[in-house]
Amino acid sequence: MKQFIVGPVEMYPSTKHVLEKGYTYFRTEEYGNMVKKCLKKVSEYLGNSTENSLIYLAASGTGAMDAVVDNCMTQNDKALVINGGSFGHRFCELLKWHNVPFEAINLNWDETLTENHLQQYENKNFNTLFVNIDETQTGQLYDIKMLSDFCKRNNMFLVVDAISSFLADEYDMEKYGIDVTIISSQKGLCLSAGMSLVSFSKRMIEKINSNPLPKSYYFNFRDYFRNIERGQTPYTPAVTTMYELNDMIELIENAGGKDAWIKKVTDKCIYFRKKAAELGLKIPEYPKSNTLTPLYFDDVNAGEVVKILREKYQICVNPCGGEMSNKMLRVAHIGNTTIQDIDILLEKLMLAIKEVKDKKLQGAI
């Protein structure tokens, strides 16, 4: 099965078989030094030079989002959320769960976020903005500079879920004044699922340390800050995934580093979109991440196309949920795929579309 999904992505061979190389017990100086080396490099990729500001959790991305709200926010805060899809909406659900006051900028699936959406929230005493910078459900990439400028004008913390955008789009925490970045193992990092990483600005670390203790015992960030100084975690970490990260960083560096890696993803993205447009496939016009391309259908059932690709051609692409389940599918450009793989995907995609159309025509006769 060839994976063109946002995660878990198609892994690289050396990373997939990392356990064959062997590994050490994790409560050792050797393991801790490897972790510190890996986290320093990931911090560099994120554009954060604050020392010991990146922790890692044995949790999915949602677990990290939950922990961030629990540790970074209190009932005395007031949050603003960019809610443009299921992942932006998840921040709304988590803030409600933790009884943090918030308002949401609600966007239709094909609605581009602009300055006009932000204007009514100027000088309204919000202190934190939450955004899924690439709304993974639709592929829309929000304007990080616009959001950064808004937060700076209003003296707000900026919390970014970059889970699907990391290592696919340009990103720099210090350049844009980002206070929290959440990433996850199974997307741009091309690792197994089950590990998330959270990076903090110095001022957010200070806020966390002055907040009341979080509700969660397991996800108390203060314990993680203390332990990460020696490359450790309070509890058993995602050990094997950390070894995969060590291998993946080596692959990225050998390929020329972060910028070269992002260019590789970007080149695949541009190639796919050009070829898809030539084939008459419809791509929404809002700003999009290099991570994935949404394809919109008004004459065939997108869900049926996804099913045929998977069952008949052993190719997996992302379906959409909810009201878009029959209208749109998503093709990812991260992971171990090539231009040749994309050509095969497009060939089979057109065959699957034709099959769905033929079935629809036969049903109408």
User: What is the CATH class of 258-364?
Assistant: alpha beta
**Full pLDDT tens readout for the chain, 365 residues:** 899 999 999 999 999 999 888 788 999 999 999 999 999 999 999 999 999 999 999 999 999 999 999 999 999 999 999 999 999 999 999 999 999 999 999 999 999 999 999 999 999 999 999 999 999 999 999 999 999 999 999 999 999 999 999 999 999 999 999 999 999 999 999 999 999 999 999 999 999 999 999 999 999 999 999 999 999 999 999 999 999 999 999 999 999 999 999 999 999 999 999 999 999 999 999 999 999 999 999 999 999 999 999 999 999 999 998 889 999 999 999 999 999 999 999 999 999 999 999 987 776 65
**Whether the Cβ atoms of residue 142 and residue 169 lie closer than 8 Å to each other:** no
Amino acid at the residue 17: H
The model's pTM is 0.96
With tokens 């995602």, the residue in question is: 238
| 15-254 fold | Aspartate Aminotransferase; domain 2 (3.40.640)
**Whether the Cβ atoms of residue 90 and residue 140 lie closer than 8 Å to each other:** no
Q: What is the pLDDT of residue 102?
A: 98
Provide the residue ranges of all domains of the chain, joining segments of one domain with +.
15-254, 258-364
**Whether the Cβ atoms of residue 313 and residue 292 lie closer than 8 Å to each other:** no
**Whether the Cβ atoms of residue 53 and residue 205 lie closer than 8 Å to each other:** yes
β-strand pairing of 102-106 with 79-83: parallel
62: exposed, middle or buried (C-beta count within 10 Å: 0-12, 13-18, 19+)?
A: middle
